[in-house]
Each structure stands twice: as C-alpha cells, then as structure tokens.
Amino acid sequence: MKDKKISPEQSSSQTEPPDPTQKMPAQDIIRIPGPLLDQKLAGIKHFIGEILQQLTDQTQRLTEKCNKKKLEYLQTRWRTWNKLKLVGIPETVKEKDPESLLLEWLPQELQLDMKTASFQIADISQDQSPPSFN
C-alpha cells in the first residue's frame, strides 16, 4: 500500500467539521431552527390563551355587574310605582289604564267640568332615561 501524503491544508480540512450552510439545500437550513421556533410559538400561544381567558372572565364579570345594576334599577322603579296610590279611590276601581281613570273617574268625583278644565297627564318615568349601566 502506498502511503498518500496529505498536505497540511487537506489534514486541517479533514479534522474540521464542514460548514453546514455551504452545501445544504434551503429546506434543510429551514428545518434546523424549526423545533426551536415551534417551542417559542407554543409559549406564545399559551400566553395568548391565558390572556383570552382573563379577558373572557373580565367581560363576564362586567356583564353580570351591569345586569345586576339593571335589575336593581327595575326593581326599585317597580316598587316605586307599586307604592303609588291615590287616596280616596275605592279599592273596587281596577282601571288598567291610569290615564282614563284620571280623565274620567277623577273629574266626575271632583265634580269638574272637563269642557272648561284642561290638564295634562305625563308619565315622568318615561321622560327620564334610565341610568347608564356601562
């Protein structure tokens, strides 16, 4: 067997690992950082999931609080109207339309001449807008 003489350049190139980017196709170069990118993206996806969950929880709490305020407002308004009572009206009068009660029954009881009298009935609860619950 013949001994091949190895030049110093050849011996150094054989001991050093080849540069991976010199002869690798582009697809192989992209695959190298793939797992690292997947790991980083998984962390970001998890973080975004946590943020979305927190946002959903906050939205639900806010909605419940607004609904509670609306319910309290409506209950208070109902109790206020439920307590409204005209003294002297017999309990047997069960008019469903308070306007007709005040325009027909009340003038008759007070012996008012409705041809000359003029008054308006306004529901102040409808004039007032409900409070903002936002």
For 111, the token pair is 């012996």
Q: Is the pLDDT of residue 41 over 70?
A: yes
Same domain, 80 and 90: no
> What span, in angstroms and rounded, lies between the C-alpha atoms of 32 and 43?
19
> What span, in angstroms and rounded, lies between the C-alpha atoms of 104 and 98?
10
Same domain, 93 and 62: no
Same domain, 91 and 66: no
> What span, in angstroms and rounded, lies between the C-alpha atoms of 96 and 102?
11
Same domain, 79 and 28: yes
| Residue 119 banded pLDDT, cuts 50, 70, 90 | low
pTM (two decimals): 0.38
Same domain, 54 and 99: no
Determine, yes or no, domain membership for 6: no
Same domain, 55 and 74: yes
Determine, yes or no, domain membership for 30: yes
Residue 97 belongs to what domain range? 86-118
Count the domains in the chain: 2
Same domain, 70 and 92: no
- pLDDT tens-digit readout, 56-108: 999 999 999 999 999 988 888 877 766 656 666 666 656 566 667 777 777 77
Q: Is the pLDDT of residue 123 over 60?
A: no
